Chain A
């Protein structure tokens, strides 16, 4: 996720202070990982340098979080461009899990147990997300669903691999 574009987008509705930006970001997008002030600061200075934002005013007391930023025309264009550009679908061609499975097979360890353990772990996380989704608002639900669908995809892969373990073992040992 591009933090720069996100912060720019948040500025579109009006000028904000640095700590405002952090709060808004955390509230809407940062459920798992809240931003550090340092991240906000470094990002904003980069945007400032590129002419995408300007400093609108500084509150007394100093410090980067006290600065009030406003978006420039160039900044607005940049946000529009970012939104219009499709994200590159993640192909996940290199997977740690796959590597683990192959290694387990090569070394004669139990690949099935590995998959089962992983599966249980995935489901544990899914249950947690489901619980959060049930208690949360729509934003929570959407975010959790996104994660749930990805986890589900992983789980399906785990299932499929488990069903094909024998053939995989054969091919690897050849």
Chain B
């Protein structure tokens, strides 16, 4: 057998695929569409690493070059401060600039340097501010919009960003002084965990596409069978007909590749419209990794040929028709389990080996293990379906029809559904990985959002100002409570002791009793009380003696640093430092985690216990409790904070910024698995429709003797539901198992076992969709036309 005969036969098959009449063409187009969407999906997944990388590059290109030290103002120097604020669920990044000369460099993407009080905005932010949606945000960005930031200054087309020229920047509140933009372009920055995710995602995507190709090449099987039989009649041998059949699917697959490239090219134009995991990319940045792209573009057509050859294995194409091997071999379990076990064998030794921070992982083992495990699960499905269906007993007529159908040919349904197994298993495993990551972030903070939702900090010149800040927050719309304190420090008076480089220091927090109770367990509290609260070394805090060296009941403390660092501004010599006497009645109490989850320590004082005006560089710190019933309460608070001090910091507890990022990942996984499952649903639908069409006469005669439509509809439902439900059960078991192994690999505990629920929900949705979409055809076929023979 030479290459020439192969080429000739494949080409002949390809010609059949495109010239096989209306239904043949339809079949080819259907297959090509399915394969195309699969390929597009794969290419998008393959582009993901690059998108992330380009994002890093863009970020560093627009950043102020920090490698350069500029100590004094120059004509081209400017002060800069990066601000990040959250508006509803969106993150808005800002760069505040104040030029020190008359020739500051224009920021990347900006048409010109904005004037004082003016800003440039990204198109997305401009749109937001123009719309009524952005009304509340306008208060926070009180600058005049004078232009648009171009792509060079943005990470993605949907990024919300502004660059403003402000006059309040001074050497006290800035990030730094710079003269140019552009930081060194990073190396490809992927941590091990991310690589793991992308790898698993690619495997998860690739397999359903292959399964779909496998299903698709079986579309229109009967018609193809007749054609192949006709070829045998005119003298083609068995091998030749097989090659021709392979050629037919090859043509569809190649057409599918073109469709896929087309869909990909179109889809990347919309890359900016969707934001997944904060990634929102310019079309030009959506470029698949070369190796992965080559893999996709070769695996798909090759697989289509292999699959159609395998599909014809149990079939004898005879000149007078196609004979299927009458008694299909009963499915064997051992090699299916072997695949699963082999997959486990690759993965389990890696448990605990993967460090989050590492950038390289044993990718080969992970990919091989995951792939084997997924393939093992997939191949397990037909066996399980067969084994389960065999044990099903006849119930009502609809159930009987469906079960008997499945018993006779469980393979068709199982094949189509196996795509679901891969997609669902992968989605569940990924879901668990992400949940672990997500929980990790929130756990570190240990923030208690039942006590407060937003923390705000602002500089104040004195305690009076700090109190006014707290009052303003308290009056803000949607705020139900403010834990407000003025924070400063106290020092041990007197000279340094041996071995000391600076005076021992303790923090002091002044606030009302309710606020102070958030930091320590107080037995009783009245205005005028003072407490020394100790953390007992919790959370790696220093020993209690660190505090008690300075702060003890009855001790006198200095309210200014007796031995300030030489770089600090000099105080007039000889002036007495303000001091404060800690009352001897002060109680020593235990620290408790504050709403941000931290054990603080030091002194707690009620307002009348100390003269606030004496405090050194007081900070106003507030933690705000919001009324969930007030819409945008958080944004009102952020507006207030910005109005008080545009350089104040605002942090949302349980970090909604992170939350949004993670929920978008979750959405991404769901969208991805939904898309793959839709692909599966499409093949299931086509299989069902084809089966219905094949039985046109039968359906009509069933109608003739009075079968209710609902009976047949239910039978279609059962016939779809039983394999899908079995597949989902398998995926849930497999996905949880795989998820556990992958998590254990990174040394992560399982956070949430319920991650499979949405996937199961999608699966149930698919059952409904496939059934519903088959109904019109069923209805049409159930008309009596099917009985007409003339």
Task: Say if the two chains contact directly (CB < 8 Å).
Answer: no
B residues near A, CB below 8 A?
Answer: none
A residues near B (Cβ < 8 Å) are none
